[in-house]
Amino acid sequence: MFTNKESFKSAFLERLENMYGKNINETTTIEQYMALGSLVKEQINKNWILTKKIYRERGEKQVYYLSMEFLLGKMLGMNLINLGIYEVIEEGLKDLRISLSDLEQQEPDPGLGNGGLGRLAACLLDSMASLHLPGHGCGIRYKYGLFEQKIMDGYQVELPDYWLREGNVWEVRRSDKAVEVRFEGNIWVEKVGERLVFHHENFESVLAVPYDIPIPGYKNKTVNTLRLWSAESAIKDFDFQCLNNRDYQKIVEYKRSTEAISEFLYPDDSKEEGRILRLKQQYFLVSAGLQSIIRSYKKRHQNIKDFPNKVAIHINDTHPVLAIPELMRILMDEEGLEWDEAWSITTRTISYTNHTTLQEALERWPIDMMKRLLPRIYMIIEEINERFCRELWNKYPGEWGLIHEMAIIADGQVKMAHLAIVGSYQVNGVSKIHTEILKKQVMKNFYNYFPYKFHNKTNGITHRRWLLKANPLLAKLISDAIGTNWIEHPTDLNYLLNYAKDPSFQERISRVKRQNKISLSNYIKEKYHIAVDPDSIFDVQVKRLHAYKRQLLNVFHIMDLYNRLKENPNLDIVPRTFIFGAKAAPAYFLAKRIIKLINTVASLVNNDSTIQGKIRVIFVENYGVSLAEKIIPAADIGQQISTASKEASGTGNMKFMMNGALTLGTLDGANIEIKDEVGEDNIFIFGLTPQEVLDYYQYGGYRARDLYQSDPRLRKILDQLIDGFFLKEVVDFKFIYYSLLQENDEFFVLKDFASYADAQKRIDQFYKDQESWIEKSIINIAHSGIFSSDRTILEYASGTWEVRPIFIS
Ligand code: 26W
């Protein structure tokens, strides 16, 4: 371990020489990053080996978190912090005239996820390792992560994100642990004695090769594993030489189609071909994952019947739900268990988190597709369905409608959420309100049938990345005031309440915020050549672009503010900088038009000198984990303005409060719990309640057009979308206009507008009283500890997985 900078410096120079055959002055920054990464990795390796050895020897229960997404963020800085050597390395590099932060910039940010669900998976891994829990991730090593977003002429353009271009210093390819995954083909059944034996023939074989990434805990010796699978053809390259032309073509085609499985995160599923690929990805992940979990179980334990006591498998939404039939297949076809035994093991092993109530996100697969692609798996699902429907029949005789509604297979489709609930021992939502909505509405039939399965686990974020790493100035200030215990016991942040009214602490907090705002302003200036005023309110909405998240409400309010400033240039408002960051799914037309609208409004507002710079609008390109780490510490306001009842939890809301931003939000997801923690005076709540929204959906009674008629502000804004106000852009925004007026504004943007604008006015007024604003900010930080993913993980560990810490020493 590098206990002093001298030992580090000589190791670093030697490593540069060995890796690149150059001395330091000749190396590039990326080479320096790679060399440092490899040194750090080596340090981690020692404890990684030790951790694996102790896990093997102790034979205690292991958790596997299966997820199609892991949004890890850059790893160098976090790894240095976890090893406790960040400062030493920084100092050592400084002596060599190298800036550690420059090296950190070199690391690509692996975009192996879309948004909250993927980032949550990464936060949970961090907390498991930091709390000494034996928990591992299992995912896909997409060759291309989520696309890189460019904004051209205001439109989103998607470019491939080839994050592996320079290699990945953190991973180890484990060819020795590769497994085979089988697709398509046909099944024939043989009766051997009393048993039915299933044979799979003519299948397409895909090789799953794992790449392991170490996940170290914070200043402990635990190093867990994130195993990402890559798809390869099962053919060796030398076979190519002795082939005739036709075979050659066939093999090229086979190679292409197998490798496609781990090529892209979420291939475009607006087309049939894309959907097939996504289903293939899902099975690829669970089949490879489960084979390796079982292999490692059998190394440690004799009896397969003890499996649920030694292994917990968690599925992150329904994407990996085929883990249920796959585990059944392995237990029956490979381990020789009977159905009942296999079912009992499976349903004591698997637990499931739901992350959304949006209908379009509830996965369903056409029967034909699944049958063709996964013939044996489909047979097993059919059997699970039959047995479940029989049970339902016993409980609800004659209630065909209900049984049809709850069936796993119905209407030509396999309903993945139903399979997930039936095949797992616990189902959880990700905030109190979300879990209630699951129980009372979305999954109410299942809740009535299996009330004991439903639990809440409110999401969390790792305060180590989102405060300690992302906001070093604030972290230091906090530690100076209350000591460093909060890093391991985040609810200790509560002690900050003692300082909420302390003028000198307030002064320091305010200086830190200003400093962070200046850093962000510099970034914006450099990247977009727009000057923003660090003394303006930084009002931020960063998240996936989706109609329910209502970026549109935000931009309408900006249009209204602009209209009012045009009428009265002396309008007395605190200058505002509105910051947006958002990617839209490539095939999501409305979302892309909203991006165009934000950019159109931005260029109008930013170039109009008559409003005297009172408002600025910035759309940051390519929002992701790394940008979030830059933006959130600089925010005064975090906007969490989803239509009540639609956001399962939100985790951005937690990151903002932890960094001292105040929330402008609806009563939705975890906003409600944040409000309960900080109190109504320290959060800006507006809009319909979840119940009001649900009632409108159920009973009707909302007419968007009435609001257009009755509210002159709204009429003006909506007309501006189509009347040439934006000059050549007219056509673009018709689609938005019609979605609100013709299709009656599904997400209540117009309905919540007045209340939102009011809340924005309150913010303006409150901000003028800086003392009380900073007090509110401190109160938010002080209450954020409960939203650490450490709390979330402890709840899963004791309430769901029943797994205990294993101390590595
Ligand atoms: C087509 C399958 C599908 C559907 C939805 C893939 C991915 C998604 C979303 C990207 C899922 C998602 O990210 N959900 C978010 O999960 C977070 C973690 O629990 C919650 O905080 C967010 O509220 C929820 O939107």
Looking from the CA of residue 648, the nearest atom of ligand 1 is 23
pLDDT at 238: 47
Inform me whether the pLDDT recorded for 237 exceeds 70. Answer: no
Bridge partners for 116 per DSSP = none
Of all protein residues, whose CA lies closest to atom 5 belonging to ligand 1?
361
Nearest CA to ligand 1 atom 8: 361
| Å from CA of 121 to ligand 1 middle | 11
The predicted-structure confidence for 788-809, as pLDDT tens digits, reads as follows 999 999 999 999 999 999 999 9
* For ligand 1, atom 3: residue with the closest CA: 361
Residues enclosing ligand 1, CB less than 6 A? 114-117, 120, 355-356, 361, 363, 430, 459, 647-651, 669
Question: Tens digits of per-residue pLDDT, 432-474?
Answer: 999 999 999 999 999 999 999 999 999 999 999 999 999 999 9
CA of 604 to the centre of ligand 1 (A): 33
200 flagged as catalytic: no
Mean pLDDT computed over 723-746: 87
Active site residue 703: no
Q: Which residue's CA is minimally distant from atom 6 of ligand 1?
A: 361
Residues 506 and 606: beta-carbon distance below 8 Å: no
DSSP for 739-798, please give it: HHHTS--TT-HHHHHHHHHHHHHHHHHHHHSHHHHHHHHHHHHHTGGGGBHHHHHHHHII
pLDDT at 239 over 70: no
Confidence at residue 359, expressed as pLDDT on a 0 to 100 scale: 87
Residue 723: what pLDDT?
87
Q: Convert the pLDDT of each residue in 207-228 to its tens digit.
A: 999 999 999 999 999 999 999 9
The least confident of 239-253, 372-386, 526-540 is: 239-253
Asked if residue 204 lies in contact with residue 184, where contact means CB atoms within 8 angstroms, the answer is yes
Residue 113 CA: which ligand 1 atom is closest?
10
| 647 Cα nearest atom in ligand 1 | 23
The pair phi, psi for residue 216, each rounded to 5°, is -80, 150
Could you give the CA distance from residue 770 to residue 775 in angstroms, rounded to a whole number? 8
The whole-angstrom distance between residue 88's C-alpha and the CA centroid of its chain comes to: 32
Please tell me the distance between residue 589's alpha carbon and the centre of ligand 1 in angstroms.
19
Annotated catalytic residue 544: yes
- Phi, psi (deg, nearest 5) at residue 90: -60, -45
User: What rounded mean pLDDT belongs to the chain?
Assistant: 96
Catalytic residue among 543, 596, 614, 783: 543
CB-based burial label for 112 (10 Å; 0-12, 13-18, 19+): buried
Of the residues 61, 544, 751, 776, only one is catalytic, namely 544
Q: Band the pLDDT of 249: cuts 50, 70, 90.
A: confident
Choosing from 41, 119, 439, 549, the catalytic residue is 549
Atom of ligand 1 at shortest range from CA of 353: 19
Q: What is the pLDDT of residues 338-390, one digit of tens each?
A: 999 999 999 999 999 999 999 888 999 999 999 999 999 999 999 999 999 99
Q: What is the mean pLDDT of residues 109-130?
A: 97
Provide DSSP, 476-545: HHHHHHH-SGGGTSGGGGGGGGGGTT-HHHHHHHHHHHHHHHHHHHHHHHHHH-----TTSEEEEEES--
355, 469, 546, 776: the catalytic one is 355
Which residues, other chains included, contact 174 with Cβ-Cβ below 8 Å and sequence gap of 6+?
Answer: 209, 210, 211, 212
Q: Which atom of ligand 1 is nearest to the CA of 278?
A: 1
Residue 592 is among the residues annotated as catalytic for this protein: no
Ligand 1, atom 21: closest residue by C-alpha: 650
Going from the Cα of 15 to the center of ligand 1, the distance in angstroms, rounded, reads 42
Distance 432 CA to ligand 1 centre (A): 16
From its phi and psi, is residue 597 left (phi > 0), alpha (psi between -120 and 50) or beta? alpha
The per-residue pLDDT for 235 is 76
User: Residue 355 C-alpha to ligand 1 middle, in angstroms?
Assistant: 5
Structure tokens at 740: 């609100």
Residue 282 has a pLDDT of 98
CA of 140 from ligand 1 middle (Å) equals: 17
Q: CA 797 to CA 799: how far, in whole Å? A: 6
Is residue 728 scored above 80 in pLDDT? no
For a mutational test of ligand 1's pocket, the pick from 117, 317, 352, 668, i.e. the residue with the most ligand atoms closer than 8 A to its C-beta, is: 117
What confidence score (pLDDT) does residue 729 get? 63
Ligand 1 center–CA 120 separation, angstroms: 10
For range 385-402, the mean pLDDT: 98
User: Is 651 labeled as catalytic in the residue annotation?
Assistant: yes
C-alpha 240 to ligand 1 mean position (Å):
43
Nearest-CA residue for atom 4 of ligand 1 = 361
Distance 469 CA to ligand 1 centre (A): 25
What amino acid is encoded at 295 in this protein? R
Rounded to whole angstroms, how far apart are CA atoms 509 and 200?
A: 65
Shortest-distance atom of ligand 1 to CA 119: 18
Burial class (CB in 10 A: 0-12, 13-18, 19+), 245: exposed
Task: Work out which ligand 1 atom sits closest to the CA atom of 651.
Answer: 21
Please name each of the domains of the chain with its CATH number. 1-58+75-108 (no CATH), 59-74+109-424 (3.40.50.2000), 463-687+752-789 (3.40.50.2000)
- 219 catalytic? Reply is no
pLDDT in tens, 624-676: 999 999 999 999 999 999 999 999 999 999 999 999 999 999 999 999 999 99
Task: Using most ligand atoms within 8 A of CB, pick from 124, 355, 655 the residue to mutate for ligand 1.
Answer: 355
pLDDT of residue 288: 98
d(CA 636, CA 539): 6
